[in-house]
Amino acid sequence: MGGTTSNGGSGGSEMDASGGTGGSLTESGTDVGTRQAALDQIVFEERFTATADAVEDSAVGQCGSNPGLLTANFNTWTPNIRIDTDDRPGGCQQSFAIRDPTGALMGATLKVTFEPDGEPAQCGQPGDHLVPITSGGTDFSSFYTIDTDNRSGGCTDTFSLEGVNDVVLDVDFEPDPDAADAGASQCGNPGIHTVSAGLPVTIRLNTDTLPGGCYERFRLRTK
């Protein structure tokens, strides 16, 4: 398994991630309206792009449905991405950031742990990827590369949130309609899952040459 991977970028000032209870409505001493107004300014950001050597020789390719920079306001879903890596060269790279202009998530940490459970070369840059929470949202986590195919095993993605009690991350991970065996072998642990303090969520990516792929989207919201 890979070790801890440091964050990419050196943009805006990163919020303190040293722990603590975060800004819950009760513990922060702020009124509900003020707290919610601060949370409403948060933006969740995702980069999902094909690797430089990826062969995208069909209408949707290996990294189809909305590749590029994706953003979503608080309590709103990001656009769906579609992961369909296979035996063609290349794969998909993914990274994240959180824009928090008022520091509403001060003390919170969001971490993505990306690990192989089979042939390691399918899961590039494994390990822990800390998602920067900054005022400008200009710092992104270091990317990891999804390149699953017909080799043994796949990759697991574990999302962990700590240091905040009134905010959660929803992960929606679903097989697309034409996925073989209803996506059971390609999109492990499908459905809408909620990541909250002390309760991580793990999904499994194992797309290959079978028909179909996996849709994925994210939403930060009030608990």
The predicted-structure confidence for 5-32, as pLDDT tens digits, reads as follows 434 443 333 343 333 345 554 444 458 8
Task: Give every CB contact of residue 98 below 8 A, 6+ residues apart in sequence.
Answer: 42, 43, 44, 45, 105, 110, 131, 132, 133, 134, 137, 220
Greater confidence (95 vs 33) lies with 95
Lowest mean pLDDT among 11-15, 105-109, 196-200, 201-205: 11-15
CA distance 99 to 221: 14
Q: 153-175 pLDDT, tens per residue? A: 889 999 999 999 999 999 999 99
* CA distance readout (Å), 220 to 57, 92, 155: 34, 23, 24
Nearest CA among 176, 185, 169, 154 for reference residue 91: 154
Top-confidence range, 33-37, 136-140, 147-151, 164-168 = 164-168
Backbone angles phi, psi at 196, to 5 degrees: -135, 175
105: nearest Cα among 144, 137, 71, 129: 137
Q: Which stretch of 14-18, 134-138, 201-205, 209-213 has the lowest confidence by average pLDDT?
A: 14-18
pLDDT greater at residue 208 or residue 21 = 208
Dist. CA 151–CA 136, nearest whole Å: 40
Per-residue pLDDT tens over the stretch 41-57: 999 999 998 887 766 55
